[in-house]
Amino acid sequence: MKRRAFLLAAVPFLACSALTAENQDWAFIQAVGGIAVQRPYRANAKLYLPVECDVSGTKVVSSKPSTINSGLVVHEVIARRDRTAIYVSVSTSLPSAGHTAACTPAVLENLPAGTYTVFYGRPPGSFGSAPGAVKIGEFELEP
């Protein structure tokens, strides 16, 4: 009975968390300590791009944090490909089960071998894109 009451109380909160997810711009990412990407890896038949970022503002990744957020978690890390460019974006939300302030790896679609440049932001012309995506890395994917 207690478990059922907990679930009934938690469902609206979890739904609210998804509804309040907000895509964060470059200024926000810089204010919480920056972002970096590592070389992609394959696991479970998928390709993952490790993304290092912590929206709490308590860790230095590529810049010194100037903001602390105790009430935000990473909701989702998205990677989109446009030819040889990968665009990464981070959305945050209110705390919910299974989410922390640290970024998780982004799932990449099946990429052909080649050299890729990684940018923070959304691809030009996409919904919610802002001008001037920022280069955050580069990697070479071997066949």
| Residue-level pLDDT at 6 | 46
Q: Give me the helices (H) in 21-94, please.
A: 26-31
Other beta carbons less than 10 A from residue 78's beta carbon: 15
Q: Where are the domains of the chain?
A: 2-141
| Residue-level pLDDT at 126 | 63
| Residue-level pLDDT at 124 | 76
Question: Distance between CA 94 and CA 91 in Å, rounded?
Answer: 11
| Residue-level pLDDT at 1 | 53
| Residue-level pLDDT at 95 | 94
| Residue-level pLDDT at 35 | 98
pLDDT digits (tens, 9 = 90+) for 52-71: 999 999 999 999 999 998 89
Taking 50 as the pLDDT cut, the residues of the chain under it are: 5-17
Tell me phi and psi for residue 30, to 5 degrees: -65, -40
pTM: 0.81
| Residue-level pLDDT at 4 | 52
